[in-house]
Structure 1
Amino acid sequence: MKSFLAFLVAMGIIVALGDAYCFSKRYKPGKADKGCMLNGKLYPLGHIERTEDCHRCDCSRTEMRCCSIFSTPVAYDEENCEVIFNEESCDYDVVQKNDPSKECSRVARVG
């Protein structure tokens, strides 16, 4: 049992330190001189710590590279728990269906 608990803790740390999904968008010369467009919003050139849709990005005149800053729950007690996106923290909360003020335990995440 102790080794199983150690395994769960180690996997939780690995998942927490793992990179989230990433994408990039290339621009034609002269197209992004004022910044980068993402989901209808213009972001300034340089590093963007957090976009409105929870990404961390780098914007240059030739490319915008972004990675999500949230992780997605993939394994949890679906019968007793539900997933709610928390826009303030840019992450998913996995809470008990009968009492959303309580978090569910034993949740595996990716991203």
Structure 2
Amino acid sequence: MLCNAQCYFIPIEGSPDNLLKECKDLGGVTYAMNSKWKNDRCEECSCNPTGIHCCNIVAIPVGFSKMKCKKLFNEKTCTYTVVEKKNPKKTCPVQQWVM
């Protein structure tokens, strides 16, 4: 497996006959060649003849008042919301996001 901060690559394994049919992820799940999907770790992945390529799709808030606010992660939507600590129904402004 090769990786950088936000993406990684899993080389295809198997016999030459299988190289153009499917890819297998680290959990053993197989995917059709040239397919794309979002996994449960908030990554977009694709299967191509060389293997599986996955990248994080979560934008992380970094430019907000950490004294006044906190970030909340929604696993279903793979998104963060930044809310006031004293009043979690009120959102906080965010000046910067990183991937």
Q: TM-score range by the shorter chain?
A: 0.7 to 0.9
Please report how far the alpha carbon of residue 106 of structure 1 lies from its aligned counterpart in structure 2 after TM superposition: 2.9
Query: Aligned ranges for residues 1-111 of structure 1 at < 5 Å?
Result: 21-30=6-15, 34-38=22-26, 40=27, 42-45=29-32, 46-60=34-48, 62-111=50-99
Instruction: Name 1:3's counterpart in structure 2.
Output: none
Q: 1:64/1:82 Cα in 2 relative to 1: closer, same or farther (>3 Å)?
A: same
Instruction: Name 1:4's counterpart in structure 2.
Output: none
Q: 1:48/1:80 Cα in 2 relative to 1: closer, same or farther (>3 Å)?
A: same
Please report how far the alpha carbon of residue 34 of structure 1 lies from its aligned counterpart in structure 2 after TM superposition: 4.7
Q: CA RMSD in A?
A: 2.4
Question: Which structure has the highest strand share of the two?
Answer: 2
Q: Distance in 2 between matches of 1:35 and 1:28?
A: 8
Q: 1:34/1:81 Cα in 2 relative to 1: closer, same or farther (>3 Å)?
A: same
Please report how far the alpha carbon of residue 81 of structure 1 lies from its aligned counterpart in structure 2 after TM superposition: 0.8
Q: 1:41/1:70 Cα in 2 relative to 1: closer, same or farther (>3 Å)?
A: farther
TM-score (norm 1): 0.66
Q: 1:63/1:50 Cα in 2 relative to 1: closer, same or farther (>3 Å)?
A: same
Q: Deviations over 1:5-55 (max 9, x none)?
A: xxxxxxxxxxxxxxx9222111333387653214x2514123333111111
Q: Distance in 2 between matches of 1:27 and 1:35?
A: 6
Range 27-36 or range 48-57, more displaced: 27-36
- How many residue pairs end up in the alignment? 91
Report SS of the residue matched to 1:78. Answer: coil
1:84 maps to amino acid: L
